[in-house]
Amino acid sequence: MVVVVFRARVRADADLSGIEAVGRRMYELASAMPGFISYKEFQAEDKETLTLVEFDSEEHLLAWRKHPEHLEAQKLGRERVFESYDIAVCKPVRRYGFSLAKGRFEL
């Protein structure tokens, strides 16, 4: 599994018209890509956003990274939306979880 941690700040003067539609389209495309696992987005009180995306392999993540519509959305983000962003591509060192049904378990 590969996890993308995308932290971003939106420009104060950003033109956000149409951005929600672009976001919906990116989710539609990404979630249909081979190897896609999940997407979650959060916003902190200071307005920084954090997006977590999981793919099953670097190969599948790279295919998403190079998707033509995704490349256009990236360009749009740099030109019109983001003040800054930081992307970390990570592989989990260890995974484990807990549920009432299973107790603590290793993944």
95, with CB counted inside 10 A (0-12, 13-18, 19+), is exposed
Local confidence band at 89 (pLDDT 50, 70, 90 cut-offs) = very high
Q: Answer for the pair 4, 39: CB distance below 8 angstroms, yes or no.
A: no
Indicate whether this model's pTM tops 0.75: yes
Mean pLDDT of the chain: 96
Q: The domain spanning residue 12 has which CATH number?
A: 3.30.70.100
Residue 16's domain comprises 2-106
What's CA 38's distance to the chain center, in Å?
Answer: 9
CA–CA gap between residue 43 and residue 33 (Å, rounded):
25
So what's the pLDDT on residue 1?
97
Structural domains in the chain (count): 1
So what's the pLDDT on residue 16?
86
pLDDT digits (tens, 9 = 90+) for 13-59: 998 888 889 999 999 999 999 999 999 999 999 999 999 999 999 99
So what's the pLDDT on residue 15?
82
55, with CB counted inside 10 A (0-12, 13-18, 19+), is buried
So what's the pLDDT on residue 18?
85
